[in-house]
Amino acid sequence: MSAVSALRWRAGALELLDQRRLPGVQQWLHCARVEQVAEAIGDMVVRGAPAIGIAAAYGVVLAARAAYAADPAGWRQAIGTDLTRLRDARPTAVNLAWAVARMERRLAGLDGGDPEPALLAEARAIHDEDLAANQAMAAYGAALIDPGSRVLTHCNTGALATGGHGTALGVIRTAHAQGRIAEVFVDETRPWLQGARLTAWELQQDGIPARLVVDGAVAWLFAHLRPAWLIVGADRIAANGDTANKIGTYTAALAARAHGARVMVVAPLSTFDPATPDGAAIAVEERPAGELTQLAGQPVAPAGFPAWNPVFDVTPAACIDAIVCEHGVIERPDASRMAAFLASAGR
């Protein structure tokens, strides 16, 4: 279990470790109002599909507290706009909508009185269940990796992106503890550098042998240093297994498959979206051009140069060897294997 954590509930408020300042500065951002939580999610203070879902759940607690204080009889109606604001803070990771919907179901079932204790208990349950799911899937995923393997991971999927331990990085942590990992390759993950800034930081703290590569090196890496697996997380897994994850995942998956390496996607059931039939139906977030044309506030492209900045891509299920979740492993996912697996998991 990693000592790092992305978020904590302290003295009646949500505190978020500002991931924009890592690894250099560890600063906690105090959120006492729901608008601050929605803004922090949109501004990338907190990242990673499970972590933004957990943050949104605590955001619902803050929304209900303020609405109940203002109008103890009509607070349920009053928080509708806040729930929408949280849900819309980022479009691709389904965990956000999933967590808000679960909190909505909980608040709909409440009798009169102060809603905060029950909603806080539900948010804490979402947080704790994510950590437990991470540990379960880490065991399933690690078992797929042969001892002494090299692996490549993309983006950040560690304790900072989840309730703790991590999805893909959780598998890597557990596999390393079992002697299965000789070396981890981490790509930088332009433009926000989640690989270089966050994953490398988590790996270093755990003493797991790792090297950084530029995103453009992944095909050459598979050709020359021959990692056995690409191991990634997910932001949304469609009913047929098509998987949205950080931009560059699809490129890395193609490179892995072209060189005989395997592709593992690791995500809790809260990332599965059976209502979305396939990858074509997934909304891919596009962010401002300035994220590409500037680096740490310095221009790295001519002033005013246009850019296209999709921050996720969709890896087709046909490029994925295994999807790992807390209920087990779906090998060679397709629509029928996904449906059978979800039915057996009670979803």
Residues that bind ligand MRU (CB under 6 A): 47-50, 93, 155, 157, 161-162, 167, 194, 233-235, 245-246, 311
Residue 114 annotated among the catalytic residues of the structure: no
Closer Cβ to ligand MRU, 194 or 276, answer by number: 194
Which CB, 130 or 321, lies closer to ligand MRU?
A: 130
* Residue nearest ligand MRU, CB atom distance: 233
- Strand ranges of the sheet holding 28-31, from the earlier edge strand across to the other edge: 7-10, 13-17, 28-31
What backbone torsions phi and psi does residue 342 show, to the nearest 5 degrees?
-65, -40
Q: Which is nearer to ligand MRU, 40 or 221 (CB)?
A: 40
CB neighbourhood size of 186 (10 A) = 25
CB of 10 to ligand MRU, least distance (A): 23
CA atoms of 347 and 272, how far apart (whole Å): 10
Among candidate residues 130, 187, 206, 235, the one labeled active-site is: 235
Nearer Cβ to ligand MRU, position 167 or 240? 167
Alpha-helix residue ranges (DSSP H) falling in the chain: 34-42, 49-70, 75-78, 80-87, 94-108, 116-142, 168-177, 200-206, 218-224, 249-258, 290-293, 335-344
- The distance of closest approach from Cβ of residue 220 to ligand MRU in the complex, given in angstroms and rounded to an integer, is 22
Host H or E run for residue 322: strand 322-325
Q: In this complex, which beta carbon is closest to ligand MRU, that of residue 141 or of residue 233?
A: 233
Measured between alpha carbons, how far is 250 from 239 in angstroms, rounded to an integer?
18
Q: Could you tell me the smallest distance in angstroms from the CB atom of residue 126 to ligand MRU?
A: 15
Tell me the C-alpha distance between 283 and 91, whole Å: 6
CB of 74 to ligand MRU, least distance (A): 35
Place of tokens 């503890």: 177
The least distance separating ligand MRU from the CB of residue 271, rounded to whole angstroms, comes to 7
Phi/psi of residue 243, each to 5°? -125, 120
Closest C-alpha among 42, 17, 46, 13 to residue 29: 17
Looking at the annotation, which residues are catalytic?
A: 235
